[in-house]
Amino acid sequence: MTTLREWREERVRSASGPQGDLSMIALHSVDREGPVDGLPGVWAPVAPGLPGLKLTASAEDGIQVNGSVVNGTVTLAVDHTLVRISDRLTAMATEQPGSDHLLEVWDSEADNLRDYEGISFYPEDPAWVLRGEFAAGQESRTVGFAHQSDQEGVTRKHRSPGDIRIQADGETYVLTPFASGDSLIVVFGDRTNGNDTYGMGRMVLVEMDEDGNAILDFNRAFLPPCAFSYAFNCPMPPANNRLPFRIEAGEKQVIRRNIG
């Protein structure tokens, strides 16, 4: 595992990369074959219920996939196939629970990049490395999470194969993580939100030790992508993940300079 310093440096650096969170300018839902606003080519779902997209373009469109100009139809694997649209624009097929056919678009000269200075952090505090009990449920269990850009009352079903019980100040709290690929993530709120830290909440990866305990290192708590760009649609902390105390560890805010 990287050191905390290395992890923080990579977080600051990667946010402003060509496909970094700050460069994200759009998240399109492609539910039928047709054009996508501002992009060349014709985009379409692979098939109902099957994540991924198809792109049809001519050589004159100048779109490249895997370094080759597209002249016909190509299939875009979710979170894998990078599409280069121009010197500035890139795109990739992605998905969220309830949305199999999404298209992320990045601009290497996005407005969000212009005033970015970095990320603020709390000082490292070993007391905020908490060991909890992982109470496993069915591997296929799903839990509803509200998302920032969805209508009020709408939830998306994320896979969540268990809960995590932690102790803080003599009280027991049960946190619900969601699965993202091979990782478990807890999206949480605490009393620093809206003051010291991003208002919606933060996230932390779950690590498992050799005894099957869940380790939450809040020194590596990180800002959700929507803290960097409103183009993202992030899951929000469910009620039981909103903790009634301050977690003074991890990332705090995106730092922006005054360029006015």
Q: Note the pTM of the prediction, 2 decimals.
A: 0.94
Q: How confident is the model at residue 207 (pLDDT cuts 50, 70, 90)?
A: very high
Q: Exposure string (b/e) for 187-222, b if CB count within 10 Å is 16 or more?
A: bbbbebbeeebbebbbbbbbbeeeeeebbbbbbbbb
pLDDT of residue 49: 87
Q: Residue 24 above 90 pLDDT?
A: yes
Q: Residue 212 above 90 pLDDT?
A: no
Q: Identify the weakest region by mean pLDDT among 40-44, 91-95, 128-132, 256-260.
A: 256-260
Q: How confident is the model at residue 139 (pLDDT cuts 50, 70, 90)?
A: confident
Average pLDDT over residues 45-69: 96
Q: First CA to last CA across the chain, in angstroms?
A: 40
Looking at the DSSP bridge assignments, the partners of residue 159 are: 142
Q: In this structure, how many other beta carbons lie within 10 angstroms of the beta carbon of residue 145? A: 21
Q: Residue 258 above 90 pLDDT?
A: no
pLDDT of residue 1: 77
Contact 210, 3 (CB under 8 A): no
Regarding predicted confidence, which is higher, 259 or 15? 15
pLDDT of residue 259: 55
pLDDT of residue 260: 52
Tell me how far CA of residue 116 lies from CA of 17, 109, 170, 256, in angstroms: 12, 12, 40, 5
Give me the chain's average pLDDT, please: 96
